[in-house]
Amino acid sequence: ARDLFYGLWVPDLFMQRVKADAEWTLFCPNQAFDAETGKGLIDVWGEEFERLYTQMEAAGKGFKTVKAQQLWFRILESQMETGTPYMLYKDHANRKSNQQNLGTIHSSNLCTEIIEYTSPDEVAVCNLASIALNSFASSEGKEYDFEGLYRVTKVATKNLNKVIDRNYY
């Protein structure tokens, strides 16, 4: 679907299987969980993800198995043609998160520049603004209006702060 903007949350295990030209098992999220702990693949990362993933593979809980490299090349082909899916690497994001004490990071915003913890009881919000920097350059490109940039940045910051202050998280 070329008009949808997907993001992929890629675990290290997938990339290891791509490198090894191994298979990758696809799971239904409603069935991809450990009945004993109640944790699903979305809830874990790193070694815990690998353990749960391989345990579910061995138990035959997958609904389809594909060649990891074939899937990877299809992802790359889509990126070259459409610029999507956006990619973020689950284990790296969690390993480097300053919110590890809260739990597993499940996702990011679509463009992947903001990564915050979420849970059924905790909503993360990303408040962004854009400033067209080229609008402060003279038409000849020899001068730049730093004062104008300062004024616009100050207004944008005040507006974002008001949005944050008036919301309930």
127 is catalytic: no
Which is the catalytic residue, given 77, 113, 122, 143? Answer: 113
Reduce the DSSP state of residue 137 to 3 states and report it.
strand
Q: Strand pairing partners for 86?
A: 7
98 is catalytic: no
Closest CA to 14 of 61, 94, 75, 58: 75
> How far apart, in whole angstroms, are the C-alpha atoms of residue 114 and residue 62?
31
Do the beta carbons of residue 104 and residue 45 sit within 8 Å?
yes
* DSSP-derived pairing of the beta strands 86-89 and 7-10: parallel
Which is the catalytic residue, given 47, 77, 111, 161? Answer: 111
User: Please, where are the H alpha helices in 60-110?
Assistant: 68-82, 90-96
109 is catalytic: yes
> How far apart, in whole angstroms, are the C-alpha atoms of residue 80 and residue 84?
8
Q: Could you list the active site residues? A: 109, 111, 113
